[in-house]
Amino acid sequence: MICADGVSFAYGRTEVLREAGLTARPGQVLGLIGPNGSGKTTLLRTLYASLKPSQGTVLLDGTDLRKVPTREAATKLAVVVQEHGGDMPLLVSEMVMLGRTPHLAAFQRATDRDAAIAADALARVGVSHLAGRPFVGLSGGEKQRVLLARALAQQAEHLLLDEPTNHLDIRYQHEILDLVRSLGITAVVVLHDLNLAARYCHELVLLKQGRVVAAGTPDEVLVPEVLEPVYEVEVRRVDVDGELHLLFRPQHSFCAPALQEIA
């Protein structure tokens, strides 16, 4: 379980998180949603100690994350971020094998078991055929899947993902999120696509300007009266075969004035 209580963070004098809180429950997927600049990625970074909150506490299975040794935290938390060191001269198989590092003693070489775990992780995300390719030469979508494989190889109990569907086509967006949900571990994922959030997240936390404005199940959060003030678009909610879907329409048109000026 991951809990954040009253977490605030500022870049210099610019406060980007204001007393934010969440609870990611065991075996469930929690989605962080909100407009650009709402603080989603910043909040995620506090959950794995990449950023230190100016106030508030992050608990990992009941223990203050600041008191968890780095190596121990690496065995419990796996992270997939967008800044992935794409210039590292590693083969895909070597990149995924890095996920086994927290489980190895200093100067210990990877075992056949480690290699088998890494190979299985590659297979689970559908990129076994890329094992011998240089990571730097992959497309954005291929890199995303390899980085998820590295996180799976880590075999952590908690998985944190920052926009894991970025660069992926529709098929792989659904396959990756379906895989994350099927893992049965605690997962926190930053998502922009609200329809994907509705389908694959058990709970959602909606942020606006660094504050949590709504939290609960997708059925509770993804309603027009909650979303429209946050995203400033008209929202229509429909059910198709028992599944929630959202349709959007801009509240204002910016094209007509521009066309009038040109005319």
Can you give the CATH number for the domain in which 50 is found?
Answer: 3.40.50.300
Instruction: Let me know if residue 262 belongs to a domain.
Output: no
CB atoms inside a 10 Å sphere around CB 247: 11
H-helix segments, the chain: 40-47, 70-76, 92-97, 112-124, 140-153, 170-182, 194-200, 218-221, 224-231, 255-262
Instruction: Let me know if residue 230 belongs to a domain.
Output: no
Instruction: Let me know if residue 127 belongs to a domain.
Output: yes
Instruction: Let me know if residue 263 belongs to a domain.
Output: no
| Residue pLDDT tens, the chain, 263 long | 999 999 999 988 889 999 999 999 999 999 999 999 999 999 999 999 999 999 999 999 999 999 998 888 888 999 998 755 556 789 999 999 999 988 887 777 888 899 999 999 999 888 999 999 999 988 888 888 899 999 999 999 999 999 988 888 898 899 889 989 988 899 999 999 999 999 999 999 999 999 999 999 999 999 999 999 999 999 999 988 888 999 999 876 555 454 344 33
> In this structure, what are the phi and psi dihedrals at residue 30, rounded to the nearest 5 degrees?
-110, 125
* The total number of structural domains that make up the chain: 1
Instruction: Let me know if residue 189 belongs to a domain.
Output: yes
> In this structure, what are the phi and psi dihedrals at residue 132, rounded to the nearest 5 degrees?
-95, 5
Which residues, 6 or more positions from 257, have their beta carbon under 8 angstroms from its beta carbon?
Answer: none
Instruction: Let me know if residue 97 belongs to a domain.
Output: yes
CB atoms inside a 10 Å sphere around CB 190: 23
Range of the domain at 47: 2-217
CB atoms inside a 10 Å sphere around CB 48: 21
pLDDT at 259: 38
Report residue 247 as tokens: 């349709």
Find out whether 68 and 60 touch, Cβ atoms under 8 Å.
yes
Pairing of strands 233-240, 243-250: antiparallel
Burial class (CB in 10 A: 0-12, 13-18, 19+), 101: middle
CA distance 154 to 74: 8
Alpha-carbon dihedral sign for residues 120, 90, 174, 221: positive
Instruction: Let me know if residue 252 belongs to a domain.
Output: no
Helix (H) or strand (E) holding 51: none
Instruction: Let me know if residue 224 belongs to a domain.
Output: no
CB atoms inside a 10 Å sphere around CB 80: 22
